[in-house]
Structure 1
Amino acid sequence: MILVTGATGTVGRAVVDHLLAAGVPVRALTRRPETAALPEGVDVVRGDPADPNSVDGVMAGVDRVFLLTTGPDLAAHDATLARAAADAGVSHVVKLSSGRTGDPAADDPIPTWHRAGEQAVRASGVAWTILRPLGFMSNALHWAGTVRTQDTVRAPFGQGRIAVIDPEDIAAVATVVLTESGHDGRIRTLSGPEPLSPADQTAILAEVLDRPLRYAETTPSEARAGLLGADLDETMADAVMALRATALEAFTSVVHPDVEEITGRAPRTFRDWARAHRDEFATA
């Protein structure tokens, strides 16, 4: 049995689907099982890593854990879940971290939170693997509304380039690491096959949608206001903006071989991802 935390989010849900496809029993931890909408056959359990008492017993019968937490308190949440895994005799924890955690120059909030979370996992005494994606192709879905209604992508830091990865590739890597031996104590940096700017992604979306699109660079303050308007609090909005700004640095544009080394195939391109999500950008 493999426990997946963050199972209702983009990456967590993809991990659930990949594990089920591999015939692996899955338990999903969520704060709200009644709205989880997970596939039949998943053992959905209630628990909140912010409340250590609520995760008592959720690791019973679990051999491995996919650990995905977010927000300013993620290190404490990682520590709670890692301790519970150790107490239950779990053999392996696979933590989803941030690619920027591996950059020693990164002192902004998200990599700082994840460094502390990684340390909590290591300190638990359970065997571990850490996955550090550089950026998600799925973040382009934030542009879907203006693409549909205005044929426009609005995003800051137009000169920035990130070797973004398809969450399905993260899930494929996680599934291999969770189900095969030989990955203990490894840190894997995960990227897509090429670094892309927002304008590059806009051009690819235009080709896939077969209609002209425009990239309009926004200011950081405009982008931050958009995050606040999407119900992020100020702490998270500032953390996301700091992470976005790192696209201007060389670290995020490096292509890494880990996806192909682990899965045996090259990572999907942004064009592949866009084709799979074409309907979400299509006009009414």
Structure 2
Amino acid sequence: MTILVTGATGNIGRQVVQQLVNRGADVRALVRDPAKANFPAGVNVVQGDLLDVDALRRAFTGVSTLFLLNAVVPDEFTQALVSLNLAREAGIDRIVYLSVIHSDRYLNVPHFAGKFGVERMLEQMGFGATILRPAYFMDNDLTIKDVVLGHGVYPMPIGSIGSKGLAMIDARDIGEIAALELLRRERASGPLPLERINLVGPDTLTGDAVAAIWSDVLKRPITYGGDDTAAFEKNLRNFMPAWMAYDMRLMSERFLTEGMVPEAGDVERLTKLLGRPLHSYRDFAAAISASA
């Protein structure tokens, strides 16, 4: 049978597609623009988006398992609800959904609250689903590497010494775990119970700790830019819509008060699932340094 991957041209979606192909799965990818697909041979590309009901019906035909990933957009929640209703209509009840860690606690943050609503729908509709709850993507820091390298400052307001910190995870680990869960559900003799998995990295880091890693890797001082979330929002408005910049500010404020902290056993569970250690932030920083 066929596994459908939504969000397939994004950072996580591409990883999921590649990992599934590596394991011999029959993969279909839903994309807005087929010209940007560039997938491995054998991947079936379907054009459409998560608000295009007719395209989704075509994409879902013959699909047994769905990877649902929604971008952070104003209608993210609607996209997910439409997709899941159409999946149910098509007889798909094996789902892997990419949510976010602490979606039930960051409830004032729009895209967290939306993802928590989707989680509740998966429960209430009785889907056999794995809900993946990743912490902060360390790959997000690719967007600020020039600030680190050029100005000696780590600018993301993720908390000073004494904060709870973020258990940052590498996109490669997210993609591989998602693929493993999709295949586990795909190959099961029947639907499996709903399950939640926190996706975390091996280390829980504050901004000062991240700056210290950069300092060590680059062999020169890198400082943490501090916890000014208002300045963070103002800067983000230079290259994203105001609503999204505000959403990101609200998220960063919860970083400072709540952190993104693993539960007992999370790291060990993921390490066992992957059969290898999780990628660390130090590995991520060292790779950027080596390519700079």
TM-score normalised by L of structure 2: 0.86
For structure 2, the residue ranges without an aligned partner over 5 or more in a row are none
1:186 is aligned with what amino acid? E
What is the number of residues matched between the two proteins? 279
SS at match of 1:56: helix
From the superposition, tell whether residues 27 and 275 of structure 1 become closer, same or farther in structure 2 (CA, over 3 Å).
Answer: farther
Q: 1:77 aligns with which of 67, 76, 79?
A: 79
Q: State the partner residue of 1:267.
A: 278
1:192 is displaced (CA, Å) by 1.1
In structure 2, C-alpha distance between the alignment counterparts of 1:239 and 1:65, rounded to whole Å: 27
From the superposition, tell whether residues 23 and 205 of structure 1 become closer, same or farther in structure 2 (CA, over 3 Å).
Answer: farther
Q: In percent, how many aligned pairs have the same letter?
A: 31
1:124 is displaced (CA, Å) by 4.5
In structure 2, C-alpha distance between the alignment counterparts of 1:41 and 1:172, rounded to whole Å: 19
SS at match of 1:172: helix
Deviation string 1:124-180 (CA, Å, 9 cap, x unpaired) is 443211011121111211211212322332232442411111111111211111111
Q: State the partner residue of 1:68.
A: 69
Please identify runs of 4+ aligned residues in structure 1 that moved more than 4 A: none
From the superposition, tell whether residues 84 and 273 of structure 1 become closer, same or farther in structure 2 (CA, over 3 Å).
Answer: same
1:279 is displaced (CA, Å) by 4.9
In structure 2, C-alpha distance between the alignment counterparts of 1:139 and 1:189, rounded to whole Å: 18
SS at match of 1:58: helix
In structure 1, C-alpha distance between the alignment counterparts of 2:44 and 2:289, rounded to whole Å: 32
Query: Does the alignment pair 1:170 with 2:171?
Result: no
In structure 2, C-alpha distance between the alignment counterparts of 1:136 and 1:176, rounded to whole Å: 19
In structure 2, C-alpha distance between the alignment counterparts of 1:223 and 1:85, rounded to whole Å: 38
2:134 is aligned with what amino acid? P
1:265 is displaced (CA, Å) by 3.4
- Check conservation: 2:229, 2:252, Cα contact below 8 A: no
Q: State the partner residue of 2:10.
A: 9
Query: Does the alignment pair 1:207 with 2:207?
Result: no
| Alignment RMSD | 2.2
- Check conservation: 1:82, 1:93, Cα contact below 8 A: no
1:52 is displaced (CA, Å) by 1.8
Compare 7-16 and 118-127 and name the one that shifted more: 118-127
For structure 1, the residue ranges without an aligned partner over 5 or more in a row are none
SS at match of 1:253: coil
In structure 1, C-alpha distance between the alignment counterparts of 2:179 and 2:61, rounded to whole Å: 20
Q: 2:194 aligns with which of 185, 201, 205?
A: 185
1:213 is aligned with what amino acid? I
In structure 2, C-alpha distance between the alignment counterparts of 1:89 and 1:277, rounded to whole Å: 44
Deviation string 1:82-138 (CA, Å, 9 cap, x unpaired) is 1222222224110000102143x6332122111112233344443211011121111
